[in-house]
A and B are shown apart, each in its own frame.
Chain A
Amino acid sequence: MFFNLLAYEYKYLLRRVSTYVYALIFFSLGFLLMNAFAGAFTGIRIHTMNSGAEQSFTNSSINIMMISSALNLLLILFIGGYLSDILLKDFSHNSYQLVYTKQIQKNKLLFARLFVGITTVIGIFFFLQLGLMLAQFSPWLESKQFQPFNALYYLNPFFKISVTNILIASSFYTLIAIISKKKLYVNMSAVLMYLVYTAIMAFNSKLELKEISALFDMFGLSTLGLMTENWTIAQRNTELLPFSSYFMYNRLLWLGIALLVYLLSFKLYKFEFPLIKSGSKEKNKVKEADKASYVHYGVISINWNFMTYLKQLSHYFKIEFKILTRSVIFKIFGVVFILFVLSSLSNYSVIYDTAVHPVTYIITENLKGIVLAFSVLYIAIFSSELVWRSRSSNCDFFEDSSPLRNSIKAISHVSTLTISIAILWIIGSIIGVGYQLYLGFYNIDFSLYLIYGGLLLIPVVMYSAVAILFQNIMPNRMAGILLFFGFFTFVDYLPYIGLEHPLWQMFDLPGVIFSDMNGFGSFLPKYFTYVIYWLSFSLMLFILGIRLYRTGANQGFKARVRKLYHGWTLAEQISLGVMLIIFIASGSYIFHNTNVLNTYKTQKQSRELSVNFEKEYKHLEKLNQPRVTDVDLNVQIYPNELDVQVSGDLILQNKQNVALDTLIFFTNKSKDNFKFSLSKEYEILTQDEDYNLFMLKLASPLLPGDTLTFKFSDYYAHQGYEVDTNICENGTFFNSSTFMPEFSYAEHYEISSNEIRKKYGLEPKERMAERDDLKARGNHYISKDSDWVNFSATVGTSSDQIAVAPGYLVDSWEKDGRKQFRYVMDHPILKFFSFSSARYEIEKDTWVSNSGKEVALEIYHHPGHEYNLASMMKALKMGLTYYSENFMEYPHKQMRILEFPRYSTFAQSFPNTVPYSEGIGFIARLDGQEKQDYPFFVTAHELAHQWWAHVVIGADVKGAVLMSEALAQYSALSVMEEEYGEVKMGDFLKHELHSYVVGRSSESSKEMPLSQVENQQYIHYNKGSVVMYGLKAYIGEDAINTALKNVVDKYGYQEPPYINSEEFLTELYREVPDSLQFLAKEMFEDIILYSNNVSKVEVFKEDELFKVELEIECYKMRSDSIGNETQVPLDEWIEVLAFTDKFVNGEKTKVVANPDNRWFKLQSGKNKVSFYVDSKPIEAGVDPLYRLLDKNVFDNRKTIKEIKERL
């Protein structure tokens, strides 16, 4: 009997065309995706975050794992529909009366259907793996991209991730199908599950949540992320996902839950007819009044005019709106939305696990993102509900026979969707305002809630119009929904098939960023041009959608298409014509702005330009050039016009031993307005407008030591509506590289990707020169045409603003309604200058050095952004004290921080001047103990660059940024420790170490040791922090600072050849005791990793003391540049600490409980460590403050839950 049932159900599914269509879709998806990864399609080259590395294979185990698991999200949507087909077929076929009267055991029937349904889904999904597998053997793909075929790479993720996910998701769909007996509810629950899941995934960015998320992630995607985030390239190529650790717990947990849900489903499954709910007796009674009389209406006359249509629209809209908003699904949708918004609020703009003050633009910006994401799903689902409503309730003939125009229905559909989404926005806004008030933020800008709401509803109208069209084109609602999603996925890939121009990017509206400093800036004109363009396009589609409405008996597609040719009303014709004119006119305007007023190049054209540049001008790299020694600039900023006028006098000196007769230089943005003159006669040999290159032949050679004066002027007027976020109405900030001519070969034009270089026949390119390359050491890494220059500048701006450049303000005046400021630096600096202008308020203070030198401290900030000024000022003072005492007295008389709008989120150090984004500290919320004071850290870091870059600057070779970024990190961390203590530093370093291990796993070329870092941020920032700070713990602060002081003394303000990391390390190693030389060398010149974890901690109370006993496992690995690891013996002193709570100035503070007994000799493998502490320990661990480069930051500590009594 049971096998008969199985055979019957299999036959049922295998006879369905959709089974084969789905299998084909999944196969094609796998096949095409793998081809796209391998670059089979012109222009398309897809990368996962795990691919793209030069040593990474397209069929690496991680790539296959990631593709399969990412497509598991498709499964969520697909399984629900497919499974409910078989589970509820008795209801959809109206055959349940027959089935339920047969002698079939209900559990057997359910089991058979589930078994058949789930195994078929598994089978269909296996076609994805098949597609991925077979793609490898495509003859048109380059075989070098693939490693030898290994079926396990495909089967491992299939069984461990996909099959388990199918079992888990199916359990919930089964339960919902059994309870509701409606396919719609199963489909809706699939969408809701998708929504909730993506919501949770989007907001687990906090480091602390990673482990929890990995354990409880229903579909195991974040588990997979955590398990593989520190895999090296070598591991990513070949390693299989182990069934252990977080992954094992996660799968066991969810499979257990799924089992319970299945059991519940079996319990609830009954052979019962769905009850037909009868209304109350009262309702069923026919009112006596209705029975008693017949109303005589007489002759009815209908007057059709515009008001009639409006009334119709109003009535129809009311009905639809009521039906939609009163539906259970809408309410569930609303609840999920509210939970989503609530859970996301505290995660806005989180940096170092620290959120920002709930300023209105942050709330509204994120709220808009959430509502828009919801809207896409919402419109897809509810558009189908609205279009198919009358048909699914068999009322279409009544409705179609009424004098109701399709246009009225369509307008009502769009209005219903738009207004119901507006309601979601209002709910979100109320939550947003509540959240602001809850946090005591009362400066609420209600207008932003209104404006962002408006910005949100524009795309909502567009999407709704498209969704209505698709529902009318497609034969059923599910097909309409799929077309909608398919369409928006497809348009995302248009650039990859050569349709890169913005005019092709359907419904893609330009970004609008609000800044407290600059409001909406100059974003809106461009934004609204695109709104007009795409809105007119979507309204044309909307009108076509109206023509395609199903009405009457003949509803076939062909019949409806025929309606496109005939029967257009005048109103429809005029509307379509007007929309077409607006579409063409706005499109032309966009084209004029993009291609005529500005330069537009496709990606391919840009690449070819770069290739040609390198082929044509590479020889210029060897050409000796004079170097800039003096810079005097006049920079006139016009904030209202968003323009800048610059002119400058540069002195260039021949510092070579030979006479120079050729001068090359590259100008920047503007080629039309650029003018120059020379103090020597010259002849223009080349003027290449493609690259803004000038090559001049000097009439008489420039002899060694001789100088020449180069004068230039330029004018940058913004063109059309294009947005230049550097020049703002309030908050201008740009640096000199945007306009200063460069007197050296412009290497930045070259293509850096070796993969693309190979395609164009270029030799592979090293990212940086070797450390001993003397020619390269003739330049520092900031500039290739200068050493140290004398600098002065006049900066002009509007009368209500202050303009600032490096140097000291020596004069200021007002002329022609504009303010002018004259800045002069009193000693040579790097040729790298900033220019800022805004309506600032200034926070002032003074710092006095030990020698009595007074330094003026100024923070130029936007009024209202006072939140963290005290912290920044404290960092300036503490930093100046620490750096001056330990490295060299601060070389300037002034230190300034200047806020600029949040279009970029960085701070950048220029001599005595640090432009600092409003987005990375000015609005950070630092009122909790767990918060990391990153405004303090960023300030201390940028201040440290006044020594590490602006005094000691590395040569333009491998390892250059070790002497700037890594040392700035170390310096800032040292200051931070003074303020926050070593335990808090441990929390900070945990982030740094985690960023390093994650960063190295997505390395695109090869990981370099710190001493040879090639501008790899995860090395020079993150590894640099851990290494420098770790070494400090081992050899002591004094030893490190002595070495750094010696470096400043010996290499500060040096002339070429500039310092390289070998010279730096020589100074450093001198201070390292012999016993630790190996450790220092490993840290800087090797790639050594540790795996230190604590498996057990026990604490015993013995009299007044607490004995802490730990079981620790330690391993040490050496890694090559692509992550092949070999274990090396470990026999080292490693920190083992217990922590206790201490009340410092009334504040509960976690401190080290064994500060004087912290180092223990540990060996590879298992170790047992014990020690006594005098205060109650709350946590203990091995290397818990991250002195060493540990591969996993999550297993170093354990919380102590119980204090045992020693028996």
Chain B
Amino acid sequence: MKKVITIILVLLSSVVLYGQEITDELWLRAVELKMSSTQVYPTQSEYRSITKDKKGKVEEEESIFISHTEEDGDIINKFISGSNSRGEIDEDYETVQRYLSINVISEEKGIFQTTLSDKFSLKRESDEKIEGIEYAKYKMKMKTDKDGKKIDSEGYVWIDKARGVPFKLVLDIDPDQKMVKKLQSSTYYSLTDEGYLVSTKSETEIEVSVVIKRIFMTQIVNRSNFKKLEKI
């Protein structure tokens, strides 16, 4: 009987938790900021990639600059320049083509949700002071689907307690691939002069083990000069 009651309680609790609204004011402020900034885009992005060996020696470095301009409500990506350890690279270079295929404007809310779901959970954990500013630290868990595979991520987000502006999001992503030993992404946010919440920098650290060789890769995206779409 005890077992049955326990099962019913567990089922009830899961029903209650599913679809629960988030009431944390600080978080809702961050969501509001994000929602008012969905049509904002950077006019320039730099994609940097650094590969190091296990001793920390840089093996390869690559940097690609892409411009983003608005034409009739669409964002046109154009290659500006690029180089890697072997010299200059041009537009036909595979990595350049990949970066050109990134849609820099996204209407998705990303992690900034107002409702918890079975794929997303959030918990305010503690307060932290970084460079003199008080931040609330949230622990979050996410489940995403990629090509039919479920990917679990876990991380933290820091929100400025005074302004509600997110500062940093660090996510540890389950790589789901034996070769990848570590996959961690950090996103840095800031407010533009116009008051839009934008992500100015993303940094992804990847540790890959190829047979006996271990590679450490860091991919950095720096975004600058943000604008809001004129024609929607």
Cα distance A1145–B229 when bound, in Å? 12
Contact of B76 (CB < 8 Å), options: A440, A1144, A1176:
A1144
- Produce 1/0 per residue, A1112-1155, CB < 8 A to B: 00000000000000000000000000000011111110000000
Q: How far is the CB of B144 from chain A (nearest CB, A)?
A: 17
Contact of A1145 (CB < 8 Å), options: B75, B91, B97:
B75
Cα distance A1147–B105 when bound, in Å? 12
Q: Are A1142 and B103 in contact (CB under 8 A)?
A: no
Q: Are A440 and B148 in contact (CB under 8 A)?
A: yes
Contact of A1146 (CB < 8 Å), options: B71, B91, B101, B148:
B101
- Produce 1/0 per residue, B51-86, CB < 8 A to A: 000000000000000000001001111100000000
Q: How far is the CB of A1178 from chain B (nearest CB, A)?
A: 11
Interface residues of B in 81-126 (CB under 8 A from A): 91, 97, 100-105
Q: Are B148 and A1143 in contact (CB under 8 A)?
A: no
- Produce 1/0 per residue, A236-272, CB < 8 A to B: 0000000000000000000000000000000000000
Q: How far is the CB of B76 from chain A (nearest CB, A)?
A: 6
Contact of B77 (CB < 8 Å), options: A440, A1146, A1176:
A1146
- Secondary structure dominating the interface of A: strand
Contacts of A440 in B (CB 8 A): 148
Interface residues of A in 1142-1182 (CB under 8 A from B): 1142-1148, 1176
Contacts of B91 in A (CB 8 A): 1176
Cα distance A1147–B100 when bound, in Å? 8
Cα distance A1146–B100 when bound, in Å? 6
Q: Are B78 and A1146 in contact (CB under 8 A)?
A: no
Instruction: Answer whether A1145 and B100 are a contact pair too, CB < 8 Å, given A440-B148, A1176-B91.
Output: no
Contacts of A1176 in B (CB 8 A): 91
Q: Which partner residue on chain A sits nearest B103 by CB separation?
A: A1146
Q: Are A1143 and B100 in contact (CB under 8 A)?
A: yes
Q: Which partner residue on chain A sits nearest B77 by CB separation?
A: A1143
Q: Are B74 and A1144 in contact (CB under 8 A)?
A: yes
Cα distance A1142–B100 when bound, in Å? 9
Q: Are A1142 and B76 in contact (CB under 8 A)?
A: yes
Q: How far is the CB of B111 from chain A (nearest CB, A)?
A: 21
Q: Are A1144 and B100 in contact (CB under 8 A)?
A: no
- Produce 1/0 per residue, A1078-1097, CB < 8 A to B: 00000000000000000000
Q: How far is the CB of A281 from chain B (nearest CB, A)?
A: 47
Q: Which partner residue on chain A sits nearest B90 by CB separation?
A: A1176
Instruction: Answer whether A1146 and B102 are a contact pair too, CB < 8 Å, given A440-B148, A1176-B91.
Output: yes
Contacts of B105 in A (CB 8 A): 1145
Q: Are B101 and A1147 in contact (CB under 8 A)?
A: yes
Cα distance A1145–B68 when bound, in Å? 9
Instruction: Answer whether A1143 and B78 are a contact pair too, CB < 8 Å, given A440-B148, A1176-B91.
Output: yes
Contacts of A1148 in B (CB 8 A): 97, 100-101
Q: Are A1143 and B104 in contact (CB under 8 A)?
A: no
Cα distance A319–B74 when bound, in Å? 69
Q: How far is the CB of A552 from chain B (nearest CB, A)?
A: 65
Q: How far is the CB of B97 from chain A (nearest CB, A)?
A: 8
Q: Which partner residue on chain B sits nearest A1176 by CB separation?
A: B91
Cα distance A1176–B76 when bound, in Å? 15
Q: How far is the CB of A71 from chain B (nearest CB, A)?
A: 51
Q: Which partner residue on chain A sits nearest B74 by CB separation?
A: A1144
Q: Are B75 and A1144 in contact (CB under 8 A)?
A: yes
Cα distance A1148–B77 when bound, in Å? 9
Q: Are A1146 and B104 in contact (CB under 8 A)?
A: yes
Instruction: Answer whether A1147 and B103 are a contact pair too, CB < 8 Å, given A1142-B76, A1176-B91.
Output: yes
Which residue of A440, A1144, A1148 has the most chain B CB atoms within 10 A of its CB atom?
A: A1144
Contacts of B104 in A (CB 8 A): 1146
Which residue of A1143, A1147, A1148 has the most chain B CB atoms within 10 A of its CB atom?
A: A1143
Which residue of B74, B91, B105 has the most chain A CB atoms within 10 A of its CB atom?
A: B74
Contacts of B75 in A (CB 8 A): 1144-1146
Cα distance A1145–B101 when bound, in Å? 8
Cα distance A1144–B78 when bound, in Å? 9
Contacts of A1145 in B (CB 8 A): 74-75, 103, 105
Cα distance A1146–B76 when bound, in Å? 8
Which residue of A440, A1142, A1146 has the most chain B CB atoms within 10 A of its CB atom?
A: A1146
- Produce 1/0 per residue, B183-225, CB < 8 A to A: 0000000000000000000000000000000000000000000
Q: Which partner residue on chain B sits nearest A440 by CB separation?
A: B148
Contacts of B103 in A (CB 8 A): 1145-1147
- Produce 1/0 per residue, A507-536, CB < 8 A to B: 000000000000000000000000000000
Q: How far is the CB of B82 from chain A (nearest CB, A)?
A: 15
Q: Which partner residue on chain B sits nearest A1145 by CB separation?
A: B103
Contacts of B97 in A (CB 8 A): 1148
Q: Which partner residue on chain A sits nearest B101 by CB separation?
A: A1146
- Produce 1/0 per residue, A1176-1200, CB < 8 A to B: 1000000000000000000000000
Cα distance A324–B105 when bound, in Å? 62
Cα distance A271–B148 when bound, in Å? 62
Q: Which partner residue on chain A sits nearest B97 by CB separation?
A: A1148
Contacts of A1142 in B (CB 8 A): 76
- Produce 1/0 per residue, B130-151, CB < 8 A to A: 0000000000000000001000
Q: How far is the CB of A928 from chain B (nearest CB, A)?
A: 15
Q: How far is the CB of B65 from chain A (nearest CB, A)?
A: 14
Contacts of A1147 in B (CB 8 A): 101, 103
Q: Which partner residue on chain A sits nearest B66 by CB separation?
A: A1143
Cα distance A440–B146 when bound, in Å? 13
Contacts of B78 in A (CB 8 A): 1143
Cα distance A1144–B105 when bound, in Å? 11
Cα distance A1142–B148 when bound, in Å? 30
Q: 19 additional contacts, CB 8 Å, given A1143-B100, A1146-B102?
A: A1143-B77, A1143-B78, A1143-B101, A1144-B71, A1144-B74, A1144-B76, A1144-B77, A1145-B74, A1145-B75, A1145-B103, A1146-B75, A1146-B100, A1146-B101, A1146-B104, A1147-B101, A1147-B103, A1148-B97, A1148-B101, A1176-B91
Where the two chains meet, the residues of B that have a C-beta atom closer than 8 Å to any C-beta of A are 71, 74-78, 91, 97, 100-105, 148
Closest A-B pairs by Cβ, 9 of them: A1146-B103, A1143-B77, A1143-B100, A1145-B103, A1144-B74, A1146-B102, A1146-B101, A1145-B75, A1145-B74
- Pick 25 A–B contacts, CB within 8 A, sort by A: A1142-B76, A1143-B76, A1143-B77, A1143-B78, A1143-B100, A1143-B101, A1144-B71, A1144-B74, A1144-B75, A1144-B77, A1145-B74, A1145-B75, A1145-B103, A1145-B105, A1146-B75, A1146-B100, A1146-B101, A1146-B102, A1146-B103, A1146-B104, A1147-B101, A1148-B97, A1148-B100, A1148-B101, A1176-B91
